[in-house]
Amino acid sequence: MGKQVTELSIYNESVNVLVGITEPQAPFTLDVFEIENKNIPIITRELWTSRQRQAHSLHEISYRACFKPQLPKFFILRLTTESEIVYDPFAGRGTTALESAFLGRKVISNDINPISKIFAKPRLSPPALTTITERLKSLPKFPTESQQNHLSMFFHDTTFNEIVALKEYFTQKEKTNKLDDCDQWIRMVATNRLTGHSPGFFSVYTLPPNQAASIEGQVKINKKYNQEPEYRNTYDIIIKKSRSLLSDLRDDEKSTLAKFSKTAKFLTRDARNTPEIEDESVALTITSPPFLDIVQYATDNWLRCWFNNLDAKSIEDKISTPSNIESWQKIMKDVFIELYRVTKYGGHVAFEVGEIRRGRIQMEKLVIPIALDAGFHPVGILLNEQVFTKTSHIWGIENNSGGTNTNRIILLKKT
């Protein structure tokens, strides 16, 4: 059991660094993890919940296993200075990328899943609502050729036509390299609004947006709820969601995003091999990696992939979904070797592993040895304990037994 520390108490250099980057006045618990004759401090405390504001509206795009923007913000503010590079190799919806740009840091965002770039890039270059509205008005509402509605269990015929018309428009624009910021914004919102469990989506009631039901599954859902798809005005829904995403955006934030979106890199690489990133260039990596085979990519994303002309199966084959801890460690070993290459001296990696199997698997203890092998110095382990009031799911695992939700972050430094 750890020791309750209520004042700044300096055990060793690492604890000093950890206490220094958290706020010293709040109480925390200190434990030690011993490995390879090293004492690695484990600090448990509420890192950012107590005084946090609601996250910025621009983050509100759902993505499986995304983390809260407060997490990257916490480390960016404490471990980097303006214009330094912040990187996320497993970017997901782009939480780290957006937060880095908001804070005036250069952005590198990578994810092997191309949907990540579709979601992340447009939010660094948000168009004005009037531009979005005008563009939508100018878009075709019918496909060039009439199409059989093969998704009639999800969409009303008229809604389906509008979706296919949008799909055709983006396909054409992409082919001719003419997809501008506003098109990319509309494509991002449409991809996000395809299916879901409220009238804010194009579909009839179905699973939440990250988990598209199969055709057979949807037929069953319709039968169970005695429902059939009614018309949903896709353009109204896109405008409504755009308005909500843009609602917090101030002019000064817009200018900062405009500046940092110019240099931002969005890669669709395996995190183990990112040749576009220069050696020793990254000041801070913040990321949460995939874990085991919990997320069923092709099943969850087939409709989003259909809309964006992507092959869900081939993406699934590339995504790392290791089925056991050994193969997970093997993949992450190579990820750390690559992270060591791109990190500059004095730079950090904050690696968030979440709570797996109700804390029975302490991922942080699996990460430390491979990170050390790659050359990193372990600063310590930060456990962010937050009390929450509603059921929470982390990587698809229910995690509400004690009413706490723990982020487990391994903080490493290249010395």
Ligand X SMILES: C[S@@+](CC[C@H](N)C(=O)[O-])C[C@H]1O[C@@H](n2cnc3c(N)ncnc32)[C@H](O)[C@@H]1O
Summarize as ranges the residues that interact with ligand X (CB under 6 A). Answer: 63, 65-67, 89-90, 92-93, 95, 111-113, 116, 270-271, 288, 290, 319-320
Shortest Cβ distance from residue 27 to ligand X (Å)?
Answer: 28
CB-wise, 116 or 192, nearer to ligand X?
116
CB-wise, 183 or 352, nearer to ligand X?
352
Question: Which positions ≥6 away from 53 have C-beta within 8 Å?
Answer: none
Measured at CB, which residue is nearest to ligand X? 92
CB-wise, 90 or 155, nearer to ligand X?
90
Select from 167, 136, 134 the least CA-distant residue to 150.
167
- Measured CA to CA, the distance from residue 84 to residue 332 in angstroms comes to 25
CB-wise, 84 or 338, nearer to ligand X?
338
Shortest Cβ distance from residue 111 to ligand X (Å)?
Answer: 5
- Measured CA to CA, the distance from residue 235 to residue 190 in angstroms comes to 9
Shortest Cβ distance from residue 142 to ligand X (Å)?
Answer: 34
Shortest Cβ distance from residue 217 to ligand X (Å)?
Answer: 22
Reduced to 3 states (helix: H, G, I; strand: E, B; else coil), residue 410 is strand
CB-wise, 242 or 288, nearer to ligand X?
288
CB-wise, 290 or 380, nearer to ligand X?
290
CB-wise, 288 or 399, nearer to ligand X?
288
Cα 199-205-208 angle, rounded to 5 deg: 90
CA distances from 43 to 20, 73, 217, 408 (A): 12, 19, 45, 10
User: In this structure, are residues 31 and 57 in contact, taking their beta carbons and an 8 Å threshold?
Assistant: no
Q: What does the DSSP 8-state code read for residue 55?
A: P
Shortest Cβ distance from residue 250 to ligand X (Å)?
Answer: 23
CB-wise, 183 or 338, nearer to ligand X?
338
Shortest Cβ distance from residue 373 to ligand X (Å)?
Answer: 19
- Measured CA to CA, the distance from residue 334 to residue 340 in angstroms comes to 10
- Measured CA to CA, the distance from residue 108 to residue 345 in angstroms comes to 18
Alpha carbons within 13 angstroms on the beta-carbon side of residue 169 total 21
- Measured CA to CA, the distance from residue 59 to residue 96 in angstroms comes to 10
Shortest Cβ distance from residue 22 to ligand X (Å)?
Answer: 21
CA distances from 289 to 65, 80, 131, 281, 296 (A): 10, 21, 36, 21, 15
Shortest Cβ distance from residue 162 to ligand X (Å)?
Answer: 28
